[in-house]
Amino acid sequence: MAGLLAWAADVVKAGSQSNEEDDPNSIPIVFTGEQQKYVQELDLKAASLSRVIQDLRQRLPPPDISQRLPHLHAHSLASNAALALQLNAHSATWLLNSWLKFLFWYLKSGSLESGYM
């Protein structure tokens, strides 16, 4: 609760251009020593969290790269599919070529005349 009050006081202080001492409507906020210590701890945690957030933001790729990532993924999938088709076609061609070589060897050897087929 003290942190919330400190935050509200900072917001009000930052939003007002006049000095609080000159403003008759200002309400002074008085913290106990324990509350003041708690507020300082919260300020340290907030500063640490702010640094962590800044570090994480610096690690993010620029917006133009992150917008292209789905396109790159789709392009990668399409490339993989094309390579798979090419490999299958090559394998089929190799197999057909092997069978044709065997058939030509078989015909050339004269095995048809001897009745092995």
pLDDT digits (tens, 9 = 90+) for 56-72: 888 876 666 656 666 66
pLDDT digits (tens, 9 = 90+) for 84-117: 888 777 777 877 888 888 888 888 887 555 555 5
Tell which wins on pLDDT, 97 or 46.
46
State phi, psi for 33 to the nearest 5 degrees.
Answer: -60, -40
- How confident is the model at residue 101, as a pLDDT? 85
Element (DSSP H or E) covering residue 88 = helix 63-108
Q: In degrees, to the nearest 5, what angle opens at C-alpha 100 toward C-alphas 94 and 106? A: 140
pLDDT digits (tens, 9 = 90+) for 1-15: 666 667 777 766 655
Q: What is the mean pLDDT of residues 2-31?
A: 66
- Determine the Cα–Cα distance for residues 93 and 90; give it in Å rounded to an integer: 5
Tell which wins on pLDDT, 28 or 39.
39
The reported pTM is 0.33
